[in-house]
Amino acid sequence: MKHVVKSILMVGLLLVVMAQIAAASERKVVIMTHDSFNASKEVIQKFEQQFDCRVDILRSGDAGEALNKAILTKSRPLADLFFGIDNTFLSRALSQDMFVPYVSKELEQIPDHLKLDPEFRLSPVDFGDVCLNYDIQWFKEQNLSPPMLLEDILKTEYKGLTVVQNPATSSPGLAFLLTTVSKFGESGYLKFWNDLKRNDVAITNGWKEAYWGQFSAASEGSRPIVVSYATSPAAEVFFSKETLAQSPTAAVIGQGSAFRQIEFAGILKGCQHLELAKKFMDFLLSTDFQEDIPLQMFVFPANSKAKLPEVFVKHSRITQKPASVPSDRISSQREHWINQWTELMLQ
Amino acid sequence: MDRTDASVGFGPVLAAGLIPFVFLGLFYCYPVISIFFKSFTDAGSWNGSSLIAVFTSKRMINILWFTCWQAGLSTMVTLIVGLPCAYFFSTYQFRFKQTLLTLSTIPFVLPTVVVAAAFQALIGDRGIIATPLFSHPLFMIIMAHVFYNFSVVLRIISGYWSQVSSTYADAARTLGAHPIQVFFRVHLPLIRPAILASALLVFMYCFCSFGVILILGGPKFSTIEVEIYRQAAHLFNLPMAAALSLVQIVFTFLLMWGYTRYQRKTAAPASDIQYVSKPCDRWYQKGSVLLCGCFIILFTGAPMIALFIKSIIHDGQVSLIYYRSLFDNPTHSLFYIHPVSAIKNSLIFSLVTLIIAGVVGMSSAYTIHYSPKKMASVLDPLFMLPLSTSAVTLGFGIIISLDRSIIDLRTSPALIPITHSIIAFPFVLRTVLPAIQSIPISLREASHVLGAGRFKTFMHVELPIIIKALTTGSVFAFTISLGEFGATVFTARPEYSTMPMAIFRFLGNPGHMNYGQAMAVSFLLMCMTGIGFVLIERVSGTHRGIF
């Protein structure tokens, strides 16, 4: 009995001490973000040295989960700044009244079409285009011309070649669904999906399962067309040991065939380090951080002054005419579109 | 045994119960109740409409039904496969028994993404032994569940079986019973508690299956757990997610409650003597043991070998490039983790989990044992609930509840072993409880009469008896922690990354190097698990036993 009481006291004491250490008022700024966030050590250290503080990064699950955690904790925020809300979640995040407006001077360098919140509670940091990728080698071997446009994958010679993600569980999956809504209209997108279903499309729950499990260029898979990012071919080159001259994959970005995902960051209301958070927002938008984005997260920097790395210049292109759906429309219709899609494709 | 042990009064119950009550109350009940409260109240007033929606939507009913029957089927297949192997393991002595046992437990630790990759390499569309039947998602789901849970059945049943006297079976045989008759009328009733205990664990594991269904099953199959994640993380429908969580929790409670009642009614006093397994002399004994060994190697080994091959083949040639490149950080990523640090972190978190889960599991087993019957029949299922609580629900609960200054652990690394322990301690409880119940009261009494205090009796009389069960439970706790991706929590510092987190980081980007490195870390994780087992079993001195 004595031992039990003793050990409980010890554990309790330990917890208190740990909490004390954690709460020790240290100069720091905390960033809450999703699991795909990445940055160079040197770049973050530069900020830490400049402002004599520590940068803590909370990776909190996938994009939807992270935002949900931020919403749940908005009365006692876990962080000072949230990074990683894309335009499909924008209206939802703004409706929660959880961000402080802040107009950074760096916003001057960012093209206006990326600025979707006129009050600047959320500022654009980067963007990526979700589109079809194909296996170049496969099409060469089969003597088949690769797809140029989205609707090409409905052709009979492309039967059974495509793998897409479930929009209910995957963010590129949702972006791809929105591409079809944008391209074929709210009255026509279901017909596209119906035809695609007849053309024997494969559906996975997440990007990993599609890319690593089914895509012929990346794995043992048998499908040469996959929904991924316009920057994936550049990543294929960058992450190959022998530095390939040409990427094994290519992206289909013509004429509204790619959906532009813009990622935003915002300062959380009620945060503990408001001044540092503002400084960090400036930093996120500055060329220092912006030039680090491509090779860390494989998306494009929002700042037009930021220089792209060579592998991006050579192996990726920015979509000239991206598909787009207004973010309040996405917010109000998201569940409806997903449910319609689920009913059609999964029943 | 209930007669005297239960009459010791509330003192010991309280003493033993304090640990699990405080631990679970703080890190499980409080967060889960908080999130339910938040989800089911609308501006202060109760709103349970999502609960009604669960039972009126056809899609939800389908999901509930699928969750139950796939778990039932998986459990049946696992038992059918595991039972014969458990028989040979408990009856005969043979070489490499421990190695085989270790091998069969390794799958338990592998992250689902990795298992999925291994299964696809083996029986997928373009796998080594691809056929339309094998690559059917339902077949893959069941196989993956069997692959994961085989060792649960093997360990629990063979451990129990080896302690059951063979006298009854010998007597039946002498009286002319056919071997099949002996099995069904003697062995089966005797080992029923172990069968039920392991079936229950496997069922609950499959009932709450998440990764296997999400990845191997594809979007056409959804369990309650998958649906909770979908509703919470992607549709922002927190009330629906909470309603589903509640259904899952209530279902588990009822199942466990029924099981506990049944178990108490039929509790067969296990003998206190351990029987030594016999050497296999006859040709058919040798043959069947060989068959059993080959099966385990093939079944649990093949996907792992497929994985190993993937980690050493680069561009069609054997190469260690994926392993070597683990030591580089070409992108200078903030989240890069040196493989040695990842191994170290994984080990530390797993060991801490082992200790916490061991202590909490054992003290909860004692609490149940010393409680009056009625209380025990509620406590037992209550302690099992964490096993079936959705990770998303618990994770959300933790971040909204543990936010007061003194317990603001929301971003503390301490939360990693704590959340792992919440999931892992029921395994310890399930394995230790039967052992405690099998201790004859006369032993304890004798010890007291001879002047030993409670603590001394525990150390010198009870612990030696339950140490083996405790080891089995701890091994599971250790592996659960090793393989946990830790989706429920987050820590502020990248340097606390574990091996599963490293695997996920690699798989998050395109490029062959990333894939190969993920396979390499998976293989290292597998090896670590194997070494971990051997060490634990040596430390606790159980490797010399018959188990």
- At A249, the pLDDT band (50, 70, 90 cuts) reads very high
Q: Do B214 and A205 touch (CB under 8 A)?
A: yes
CB-based contact, B58 to chain A, within 8 Å? no
The residue range of the domain holding B148 is 2-43+56-539
Measure B166 CA to nearest chain A CA, in Å. Answer: 40
Residues 173-232 of B with CB under 8 A from A: 214-215, 218-220, 229-230, 232
Residue B547 domain flag: no
Q: Which of A118-132, B86-100, B301-315 has the highest mean pLDDT?
A: A118-132
Residue B162 domain flag: yes
Q: Can you tell me the distance from the alpha carbon of A65 to that of A78, in angstroms, rounded to the nearest whole number?
A: 14
Least confident window among A34-43, A220-229, B428-437: B428-437
Q: Which residue has the higher pLDDT, A341 or B158?
A: A341
Model pLDDT, residue A115: 94
- At B276, the pLDDT band (50, 70, 90 cuts) reads low
Least confident window among A313-317, B479-483, B494-498: B494-498
Residue B545 domain flag: no
Measure A333 CA to nearest chain B CA, in Å. Answer: 11
Q: Which residue has the higher pLDDT, A152 or B445?
A: A152
- At B485, the pLDDT band (50, 70, 90 cuts) reads low
Interface test with B, best of A9, A41, A56, A197 (most B CBs within 10 A): A41
pLDDT digits (tens, 9 = 90+) for B316-349: 788 888 898 888 887 788 888 888 888 898 899 9
- The CATH number assigned to the domain holding B318 equals 1.10.3720.10
Nearest CA in chain B to A241: B513
Residues 340-399 of B with CB under 8 A from A: 359, 363, 392, 395-396, 399
DSSP state of A251: E
State chain A's mean pLDDT as an integer: 89
Nearest CA in chain A to B62: A347
Model pLDDT, residue B7: 47
Total beta-carbon pairs less than 8 A apart between chain A and chain B: 190
pLDDT digits (tens, 9 = 90+) for A21-74: 555 557 889 999 988 898 999 999 999 999 999 998 888 888 888 898 899 889
Domains (range + CATH), chain A: 2-127+261-308 (3.40.190.10), 129-259+319-346 (3.40.190.10)
Measure B545 CA to nearest chain A CA, in Å. Answer: 30
Range A132-155 average pLDDT? 93
User: How far, in whole angstroms, is CA B227 from its chain's centroid?
Assistant: 22
What type of residue is B184? Answer: F
pLDDT digits (tens, 9 = 90+) for A167-219: 988 889 999 999 999 999 999 999 999 999 999 999 998 888 889 878 988 87
- At B435, the pLDDT band (50, 70, 90 cuts) reads confident
DSSP state of B410: T
pLDDT digits (tens, 9 = 90+) for A267-312: 999 999 999 999 999 999 999 999 999 999 999 999 999 999 998 9
Q: Can you tell me the distance from the alpha carbon of B213 to that of B226, in angstroms, rounded to the nearest whole number?
A: 8
Residue B181 domain flag: yes
pLDDT at residue B128 above 70? no
How large is the angle between the packed helices B97-105 and B512-539, nearest 10 degrees? 130
Interface test with A, best of B509, B513, B514, B515 (most A CBs within 10 A): B509
CB-based contact, B113 to chain A, within 8 Å? yes
Contacts of B466 (CB under 8 A, 6+ apart): B362, B432, B435, B436, B439
At A340, list the tokens. Answer: 């319609």
Residue B546 domain flag: no
Give B318-369 as a DSSP string.
Answer: E--HHHHGGG--TT-BTT---HHHHHHHHHHHHHHHHHHHHHHHHHHHHHHH
> Domain total for chain B?
1
Nearest CA in chain B to A335: B235
pLDDT at residue B266 above 70? no
Name which of A41, A64, A209 is nearest B234 (Cβ-Cβ): A64
CB B511, CB A236: distance < 8 Å: yes
